[in-house]
Amino acid sequence: MKIVYTFSAILFFTWTLISYAHTPGTVTVDSLTFDKILQNFDIVLAKFDDKYPYGDNQDQFKKFAENAANTKNLLIAEIPITDYGEKENEQLATEYKVTKADFPAYKLFLKGKSKPIDFTGEKTEDGLKRFLSQHTSLWFGLPGTLEALDNLAREFFDVSSSNDETKAKSIIEKVREQVKGFADKKEQKSGESYLKIMETVGKQGVEFLKREGRRVQNLLKGKITNEKKEELQQRANILLSFRSLKESVSDTIDAIKDKVADTVEKVKDL
């Protein structure tokens, strides 16, 4: 009888490990197949992690992978790292400077770019979606955003960047008419946010988007109610729609410059 119980326990343990080893909606790659993946897909989000991950971070990743599985042009890759036995994918971990303390570490590989973009946000489903929305043209339906208006927001950004006031005003009027037709109050509120942002850009220029984005992020870091946090996060999500890939890269560089400047100031204060 003890043998039966022991055998059943082993089977259960093995099944549990197998279930953790692969996340639906992803592909598991290794040092021999990873380059092939990068060569054949435009956008690859790679997750470096333990071979058998578990916990809140993994639960959030599962939700993200399941919801993003059918997103066109995106491949989600899992790279299991082990520091025992054959030390699986140790070479990839070393090459991309990932340590066990970083797990799970996410890196975004864009076709044509020599280096990946490191993920530094909250390791949640929405955090990963925001990251991809910031650095790609993929649409995930972040809280507060509307796909039709997101498309117009990108178009508005392009014409505003080239100082085409006539087209910019035309897009604003198009958005205004769409917002009037929204029956859902939440959609109407979101639509009004898009409209106000466009109107402000019309007065202050596209530089307003960077300033407003930084202002909202600073407010999110402060002590605020959950209701206010949700409101600000939705505004931050909408602001992500007003950008191109070129602008995203520019913002990343600006963010690095800001971090360096902050570090210099802290050193001066010591």
| pTM as predicted | 0.72
Position 239 scores a pLDDT of 95
Sheet holding 27-28: strands in order across? 27-28, 74-81, 43-50, 105-110, 117-118
Structure tokens at 112: 């044509």
Mean pLDDT, the chain cut into blocks of 10 residues (270 residues total): 45 41 90 95 97 96 94 95 93 96 97 95 95 91 92 94 95 96 94 97 95 95 94 95 60 46 47
Q: Which residues contact 142 (CB under 8 A, 6 or more apart)?
A: 126, 129, 130, 133, 234, 237, 240
Handedness of CA 247, 228, 126, 156 (dihedral sign): negative
